[in-house]
Structure 1
């Protein structure tokens, strides 16, 4: 039996901004993330993630926030640069810290205690 083809979606935000305009970029990339999660399709977060850090050794504040949003994807793509090891270490730290706040598009919710409720009312 032949296995189904595997695929993913790359959110290449430079190209996406050309297609939908920069005013709608954040909204459209958010919608793509939601749709892909609902369809169980992996997402690659791409285009200039930590680019200043990788090339110049100093990230911008916007790059740090942008990298944190990569937590909603299965993969984050970094472009090469002289400081790529520092960029990888920084990205790893950001994503590890973000995991405790949110897992993709799902809020971290407490355990439900329905069994206890039904036991008291039977």
Structure 2
């Protein structure tokens, strides 16, 4: 699977640019399709490139998907540097009933209150 994303990012703590990223996902173990490896690269030299372990935590296939990625592991195998994203099929966000489900999942993965909405205006 491949994906692309474009949007505004802040580099070096002050420089705001319109980023263009590409990613390719592979499934190392077909018996666990929710666990993938994401290889990504910025389409400009100053954007980062690398690879993350990537999991789909929960989805209803129609409204949302909660994902978690780990950039680096500690010696004990736990995540040292991770992030989570919530995807919505509706650019205006999730309906209240789905928001409650997503908030419960955020609690379960110990990331409650750590998400920020991203406006889908098409502008960078």
Q: Which has the higher helix share?
A: 1
TM normalised by structure 1 equals 0.32
Which structure's relative contact order is higher, taking Cα pairs within 8 Å and 6+ residues apart? 1
